[in-house]
Amino acid sequence: MGEEERLSAQQDRTWSLLIGVMMWLPTELDAYLERVAGLSHAEYQVLRWLSLTEDREVHMTRLAATASVTPSHLSRIVARLQKRGWITRSSDPADARRTLARLTDAGADVVAATEPGYASQVRDHLFAHLTTEQSEQLEDITEAVLTPLRADCVELLPPRASR
């Protein structure tokens, strides 16, 4: 195998570190959310993103992009959350081919009760280890990597905070 076919030592180490973060940080957050709210990280992200939208309602396609789950995975998540009374689904009155997901008051209560601890976990496991400059660099780097993969996900995020 030629040199150009392999990652450099630095690229290989960086890639391994990134894979480790992508594997172990969500695992830590899953364990925390399961313990405090009986939710997976993916389920919580769906509830959380709905709570951040105006009217707590959004098309399922957009919700899948913002919560970073596939549409089929989102359907299963929403079905579970519906059974718990935290989300409702309905046809969009403007376009019956599209489905709207809506956060219920009970679902909003779950997010309100869980968000402070979740934010603390994210800060403790991620941002506490970074300087402000590193945090800004991480934002820039992750946006640069995600944009060519899923520009729709990036476009749906809240705007960048002024620096």
* Global pTM exceeds 0.85: yes
As a whole number, the mean pLDDT across the chain is 92
Architecture of domain 11-125: Orthogonal Bundle (1.10)
Q: At what angle do helices 105-125 and 9-37 cross, to 10 degrees?
A: 140
Task: Report the chain's C-alpha Rg in angstroms.
Answer: 18
Confidence class of residue 3 from pLDDT cuts 50, 70 and 90?
A: low
51 φ/ψ angles, rounded to the nearest 5 degrees: -65, -25
8 sits in the region (left: phi over 0; alpha: psi -120 to 50; else beta) called beta
pLDDT digits (tens, 9 = 90+) for 122-137: 999 999 999 999 999 9
Domain boundaries along the sequence of the chain: 11-125, 126-157
Residues 6+ apart with CB under 8 A from 81: 43, 46, 47, 87, 107
